[in-house]
Amino acid sequence: MKTIYSILYVTLNASLNERVSMGLLMSNGEQHVFDFSSEKLLAIKGIINPNGYQLVKAYFKNISRSINNDSISNEHLFNNLSSKRNWISEGYISYLSKYSNNLIQFSEAKVIDIELNHSNFNKLFEKYIFNRGEEPLTEKRESVLKKVKRRLYPKIDTRVNLDQPLDSSHFENLFTPLEVNFIGINGVTVTGQTLDFEKKHYNLENDIARFVSLTKAIELKEQKRGQYYVIGREPIVENKRNHGLWEQIRDAEFLEFIDVDEVGLVEEYMVKNDVKPYFVQEQ
């Protein structure tokens, strides 16, 4: 069974044919793997217009859902692609390479004589898209939580309750108490939690489970879906289990993943929707 791959490009300047490789799709007819570089996507944010950036981000996220989630909705951007994965074929990818829109372009499907597995996928990804493992281990980065508190908290402190402890007295079906980074309301509950995707896997799983439990408790009380933000940073791909959790969060339909360098999107939402603190503080 042959393996094919296609590189997905984002067009920066159509008239000059300027484009940047952003994602990689591989398939052997039965198994399919897709990933894109969040780092490069963030890097082009200031180069393309805001609507184009959001379209690209949503497009790649929907392809991830299409391939990695068996229960996706039919409502996604590329309407000519089936929600099942039968569109992933050499012929159809070649068709897309000729008739894609001006912003996102597939390369011709190429046949490669290697087995489809994550190791080979990562080798091609680092060759054609981005080497995600080059960050020096000695470089001390500001923690995600410290960055959120420094950059986001001052911008939203009048619109939400910050570092709010929650338990079953607030939401009846919240069985495990937790402290959420922020919570507000604008007709629906708006809440967000910072996750460190570089911490020990067990602790990360626990943090995710507690926040997801909160979202379910909110929906049982409010009887409608809220706006739930997860703020974090993509872990290195070599940390397979944590990177897998990060991909699931990034592609989840009921959560909105925000890269720590894009926290301005949270502020924009709150201003646009006039979010107010969920709990009235006693004077």
Residues 112 and 64: their CA atoms lie apart, in Å, by: 22
Q: What is the pTM of this model?
A: 0.63
Q: Return the bridge partners of 111, or none.
A: 4
Q: Kindly state the percentage of the chain with pLDDT values over 70.
A: 87
* CATH, domain 144-277, list 3.40.50, 1.10.10, 3.90.550, 3.30.2000: 3.40.50
Residues 66 and 177: their CA atoms lie apart, in Å, by: 34
Count CA atoms within 13 Å of residue 239 on its CB side.
17
The answer to whether residue 186 scores a pLDDT higher than 80 is: yes
Residue pLDDT, tens place only, 39-73 = 888 888 778 888 888 888 888 888 887 776 543 33
For residue 211, what is the enclosing H or E element? helix 201-222
Mean pLDDT of the residues in the chain: 84
Count CA atoms within 13 Å of residue 24 on its CB side.
21
Highest mean pLDDT among 48-57, 83-92, 196-205: 196-205
Taking the domains of the chain in order of start, what are their residue ranges? 3-128, 144-277
Specify the pLDDT at position 90: 85
Cβ count within 10 A of residue 217: 19
Sign of CA dihedral 140, 201, 180, 165: negative
Cβ count within 10 A of residue 187: 12
Specify the pLDDT at position 40: 86
Specify the pLDDT at position 18: 84
Residue for token digits 């009380």? 221
Residue pLDDT, tens place only, 256-279 = 999 998 899 999 999 999 999 999
Under DSSP, the state recorded for 235 is P
CB 257 within 8 A of CB 208: no
Specify the pLDDT at position 1: 62
- Residues 6+ away with beta carbon under 8 Å from 232: 144, 194, 195, 196, 197, 246, 249, 257, 258, 259, 260
Residue pLDDT, tens place only, 110-163 = 999 999 888 888 889 988 998 865 543 333 456 889 999 999 999 999 999 999
Closest CA to 246 of 144, 178, 140, 131: 144
Specify the pLDDT at position 100: 62
CB 33 within 8 A of CB 27: yes
Reported confidence tier of residue 76, pLDDT bands at 50, 70, 90: very low
> Poorest-confidence range of 14-18, 138-142, 179-183, 267-271?
138-142
Cβ count within 10 A of residue 57: 16
CB 62 within 8 A of CB 6: no
Mean of pLDDT values over 219-228: 94
Residues 266 and 283: their CA atoms lie apart, in Å, by: 27
> Poorest-confidence range of 73-77, 87-91, 222-226?
73-77
The answer to whether residue 6 scores a pLDDT higher than 70 is: yes
